[in-house]
Structure 1
């Protein structure tokens, strides 16, 4: 890693979106400017300090991204980067927020919630299949390294799937909670 690149761990956008955006703003004032976001970490590049605010929006519709980005640009928000439906924007401090009312914020969280639920369903299906495979394989007495390896992989998929389902379930609860909080404002 070079001295002009820094990686900052994301707190989880469903958990700490506001805190992360404030952290990115504070780092930009020190000259660390957001360049990219991947795998729950922000990649920052050393540059001139900037007095900017950051915002993240969720939109997984890939059909008309040019028009989508143009809407933000017309409101003085510059697209910085995107990853897996999350789009990061920055604007000068004092620029009108992207979300000015509870309805638009609620829509953002509802879109995010739908995709998280879909992901949870896929993981649950894979977990159930792996669990059934593991269950069946435990009852068959075959002494083979390949068989034991497949059984071990099946155990790992089952365990990982259960863990991921729990985490995604918590994400769904938090997204729903955020949506209701924004809705009540």
Structure 2
């Protein structure tokens, strides 16, 4: 954990793997005077503030820039304050006792269903890059060619992104299955 007098950086365990645990941790840090400010590379950036008793929750939703105000206003009407966003991941905070964003299994299932589809598509695309890149590398005749290097880099980038994306997809599938209607 890196910190200055006014800011602190903490690493993330990955929202697909430990979302609830991380949101509970954010609440404990808010009680100590460290409030979530933004997402950071592989973690979160916190800022020093007055200690507050807060709960945090995440929502996964693709929101176009033009619709962001309406999206945030919807949550504000239910007592949730928008803290930060990164892509389709949005974090909100509220006072304890506020009705949870996802208060039943059906809405929670839909939340994970949305993000699972997006992550699944990313996984598939980069897995294809990996297969095509390494496959074409194997079929190039001149082993020192520039083209072979391009194919190899395409395969390397594909596998480098596809493996963590597959892990995330698998974790989200388990989470989605746990929330599915009985």
1:168 corresponds, among 165, 170, 178, to: 165
Counterpart-to-counterpart distance in 2, 1:154 and 1:53: 47
Which sections of structure 1, spanning at least 5 residues, go unmatched? none
State the TM-score, normalized to the length of structure 1.
Answer: 0.87
Q: Following TM superposition, by how much is the alpha carbon of 1:178 offset from its aligned partner in structure 2, in angstroms?
A: 0.9
Number of corresponding residues: 179
- 1:64 aligns to 2:67 (yes or no): yes
Q: Partner residue of 1:91? A: 94
Between the aligned partners of 2:173 and 2:82, the Cα distance in structure 1 is: 27
Aligned partners of 2:106 and 2:181 also within 8 Å: no
Taking a change above 3 Å as real, the CA distance of residues 141 and 179 of structure 1, as seen in their structure-2 partners, is: closer
RMSD: 2.0
Rounded to whole Å, the distance in 1 between the matches of 2:11 and 2:94 is: 22
Note closer, same or farther for the CA distance 1:128–1:52 as it changes in structure 2 (3 Å cut). same
Query: What SS does structure 1 have at the residue aligned with 2:51?
Result: coil
Aligned match of 2:46: 44
- Of 99, 112, 119, 2:115 maps to 112
Residue 167 of structure 1: how far off its partner (Å): 2.4
TM-score, structure 2 normalization: 0.88
Deviation at 1:134, TM superposition (A): 1.8
